[in-house]
Amino acid sequence: MPDLTTHGDDEAAVNALRSAVMRLSRRLKHQRVDESLSPTEMSVLGTLARCGTATPGELARKEHVQPPSMTRIVALLESKGLVKLEPHPEDRRQKVVTQTERAEAMLEESRRKRNAFLASLVEGLDEEEWAKLRAAAPVLEKLAHL
């Protein structure tokens, strides 16, 4: 575990990381495959892709929105054919939300588009820079999941 309080270099690196990550994410976010989906709708699909299925209440907690908002979001996604709602097997108050194949395809297309954009940026690097970034990619992934 690095001690960041002592080295000025570390502090500069953290600052550079924060700035770059925020700026890069803003540009990646603009690379959208479907303009008709709100950020939260996209995020819900992403959550479903990771977790398989979830109840509206679970989704509300994970997305940090209130239950009534999630009711509306899920209804919109259903009307667009991106999720389907089924009765909960054990509790008749709850519902189970599952993403459709169409949603999966859309997410894959979205990832593909953003990857292509990022790849086009990477073309502006030289081999040595890209090697450094490639080596850091798994670390950045670990960091994001900590």
Partner DNA sequence: TATTGTTATACTCTATAACTATA
Partner DNA sequence: TATAGTTATAGAGTATAACAATA
The contact set with DNA (CB under 7 A) reads 38-41, 55-58, 60, 64-76, 88, 91-95
* Residue with smaller CB distance to its own copies, 88 or 134: 134
Residues 31, 128, 146: CA angle, nearest 5 degrees = 55
Q: Phi-psi region for residue 38, left (φ > 0), alpha (ψ -120 to 50) or beta?
A: beta
Which of DNA, its own copies, none sits in contact with 146, Cβ below 5 to 8 A by type? its own copies
CA 62, chain centre distance (Å): 12
Binding residue (CB under 8 A) for its own copies from 23, 72, 84, 88: 23
Structure tokens at 56: 């509206």
Structure tokens at 142: 């670990």
Structure tokens at 105: 């395809």
* Residue with smaller CB distance to DNA, 49 or 76: 76
Q: Which region, judged by CB under 8 A, interacts with its own copies, from 68-76, 77-85, 86-94, 125-133?
A: 125-133
Half-sphere exposure of residue 75, counting CA atoms within 13 Å on the CB side? 6
Please state the closest distance from residue 22 (CB atom) to its own copies, in A.
6
* Residue with smaller CB distance to DNA, 84 or 132: 84
CA-based nearest residue to 25, from 109, 105, 140: 140
Q: Which residues bind its own copies (CB under 8 A)?
A: 1-2, 4, 9-11, 13-30, 43, 64, 111, 114-115, 118-119, 121-127, 129-130, 132-146
